[in-house]
Amino acid sequence: MLSLENFNKRKFPLRVLATSALALSMVAGFSIAHADDSPLPKLANKKPLRVGFAQTESNNPWRLAETKSFKDVAAKCGWQMVMTDANSSASKQVADIQSMIAQHVDLIVFPPREEKPLAPIVLQAKKAGIPVILVDRDVDQSVAKAGKDYITFIGSDFINQGQRAADWLVKSTGGKAKIIELEGSTGASAANDRKKGFDDVIAKNPGMQIIASQSGDFARDKGRQVMETLLQAHPDVTAVYAHNDEMALGAIAAIKAAGKQPGKDITLVTIDGTKGGMDAIAAGELGASVQSSPFFGPLACDVAQKFAKGETVPPWVKVSDRFYDKSNVKESMQYGY
């Protein structure tokens, strides 16, 4: 039997495991793809186009807005959508995309839940002759490269979002804070880069200290639970940086349950610009939110049409983001989702 114990004792050699994985993927109709120098697969300039959209999960307003933007643009763009939902599982997202490849869709568009596990499937799609556009999050560039293995990455600069959140926090706390950081889904480019951008700025400010940093998986209830535990371990916390609005809203609930006032005892800053986040800013409970736009449908349509016509598409189509705090939140409500 294959157990962790005999695996560790090498009674089951790695070579056998690798061969079994390869055999399994062959049986399933897929061989392991490696990066190569072949050109990107072509995209037919036709309508309708069968387009696969593989969503990561649908448990927050950001994801719902992203999915809706594809549903809304489909008819206008001449796309027949094949849509899946990975229910927060990177391996289900891989399987969803494998099924799209097996169905020979014309184009695959997806936000990779995590950077590393979703990179090889991009190569498999290329090998199968199906072009890919990544939206929102990117994959590990040492495995699959934008412009070479897939058409482009359309998305925000997550490092910059983290920097902007940190700059606001430094300013609004006078450069003195004990910070709890609620990280997004482990292994997601959005979580990795938002952490890097924020932590690098904080490290340059000696009065600012990150006292705890833990994943809340970009989910409201997980954010609340993590914050509840961290509040007990660190009652001296004065600020929270959450990688998205949903976790910040969960943290606000935990702060209130602990008898503290969000926005007064603890300053919160976050990323997304959802309606819920903007309402919390207007109520004085959330300090600021850096916008992260989920509206990729029209951008992906535009990129696909250009690519199909043979026009040049840059490897990164950068999305620029607004910023909301008490100074502008009321007149910006129209941008919430």
Instruction: For 127-158, give the DSSP string.
Output: HTT--EEEESS---TTTS-BTTTBSEEEEE-H
Q: Is 272 in the site for ligand AHR (CB under 6 A)?
A: yes
Helix (H) / strand (E) element for 251: namely helix 245-257
Binders in 287-306 for ligand AHR, by CB under 6 A: 292
- What one-letter code names the amino acid at 200? D
Cβ neighbors of 264 (< 8 A, separation 6 or more) are none
Q: Confirm or reject binding of residue 278 to ligand AHR (CB under 6 A).
A: no
Instruction: Specify the residue for token string 């495991």.
Output: 17
Least Cβ distance, residue 137 to ligand AHR (angstroms): 5
* CB-nearer residue toward ligand AHR: 43 or 336: 336
Interface residue with ligand AHR among 33, 54, 63, 90 (CB under 6 A) is 63
Q: Which is nearer to ligand AHR, 63 or 127 (CB)?
A: 63
- Binding of residue 224 to ligand AHR (CB under 6 A): no
DSSP three-state, residue 289:
strand
Query: Least CB distance from residue 190 to ligand AHR, whole Å?
Result: 4
Tell me phi and psi for residue 241, to 5 degrees.
-115, 115
| 190: contact with ligand AHR by CB under 6 A | yes
Question: Is residue 62 near ligand AHR by the rule CB under 6 A?
Answer: yes
208 binds ligand AHR (CB under 6 A): no
Measured CA distances, 328 to 63, 289, 334 (Å): 24, 11, 12
Min dist CB 296 to ligand AHR, Å, is 10
d(CA 191, CA 159): 9
Asked if 215 interacts with ligand AHR (CB under 6 A), we say no
Contact positions toward ligand AHR, by CB under 6 A?
60, 62-63, 136-137, 190, 218, 244, 246, 271-272, 292
